[in-house]
Amino acid sequence: MSYPMDLPPKDAVGTDTAQAQRPARFAGSGAKSYDARIRRLVPGYATLLDVIAPVLASRIGRGEASILISGAGTGAELSELAFQSTHWRFTAVDPSEDMLAIAGRRADMLGCLEQVDFHACALAGYSCRQPHDAALSILVAHFLPDDGEKAGYFKDLARSLKPGAPLVFADLGRLWEGADRPAYSRWVESVSPDPSAASATVDRIARDFHPVDEARLARLLDDAGFSPPQRLFQVFDFAGYLTVRR
């Protein structure tokens, strides 16, 4: 099903407590400003978007396929994927109705609205009728603490995929800098309309994000039923990977 309106009908989407707890930066005016903010938060964000669609197309082709977009947000990844094939169908899952409303309008403008099903819930609250052929998770898992929640998220992704299905994901990790991230802070200064806010951005990342190193990431994926991750993108501590559901 798809929704040619600003918000999916209340009785046609999932809801859960995570939706109610969605931070303000993903709701209301925070949702409206997200696309501008993310480009000042993630270096190389445009390049990351550029590579995810061809990577998936190289794995699943351009024929009929079902693709899960976990943490679909305002639909930036959806925009890139829609240009690859008119035969792909998308399931956009996100706890923020406000973000999904923007994604719906974007899909409508792109002419791919009928290819998309929207579900306003966390991934744990999404029940797929049939496992998907591929999945995306862009800048989602780094918000989850490594106390079982991050492991559970990857298991939910695996549960939603067919054996052999690719998963492309990207997150902040522990790859290059320490928690103070001096080079990243300088980059934030260079792209921010308020350079003095760079230190606050780094502080917020240290407080709100939960990065892991690649050894730990590989163990989490293995426990969830995925192959070892292959890195396909990196700028500072932000990295994107390809893995496959075993």
Percentage above 70 pLDDT, the chain: 90
**For 198-204, what is the mean pLDDT?**
89
226 strand-pairing partners? 245
Residue 126: phi, psi to the nearest 5?
-100, 125
pTM of the shown model: 0.90
Residue 94 CA to its chain's centroid (Å): 9
Spatial neighbors of 160 by CB under 8 A, at least 6 apart, are 68, 70, 123, 126, 128, 131, 132, 135
Say how far apart CA 139 and CA 8 lie, in whole Å: 23
Model pLDDT, residue 23: 61
- Confidence grade of residue 170 (pLDDT, cut at 50, 70, 90): very high
Model pLDDT, residue 127: 94
Residue 218 CA to its chain's centroid (Å): 18
pLDDT tens readout for residues 49-75: 999 999 999 999 999 999 999 999 999
- For the record, the structure tokens of 185 come out as 């802070």
Would strands 238-244 and 134-138 be described as parallel, antiparallel, or unpaired? unpaired
pLDDT tens readout for residues 2-30: 343 334 433 333 333 333 345 666 889 88
- Confidence grade of residue 150 (pLDDT, cut at 50, 70, 90): very high
- Domains in the chain, please, with CATH? 10-177+211-244 (3.40.50.150)
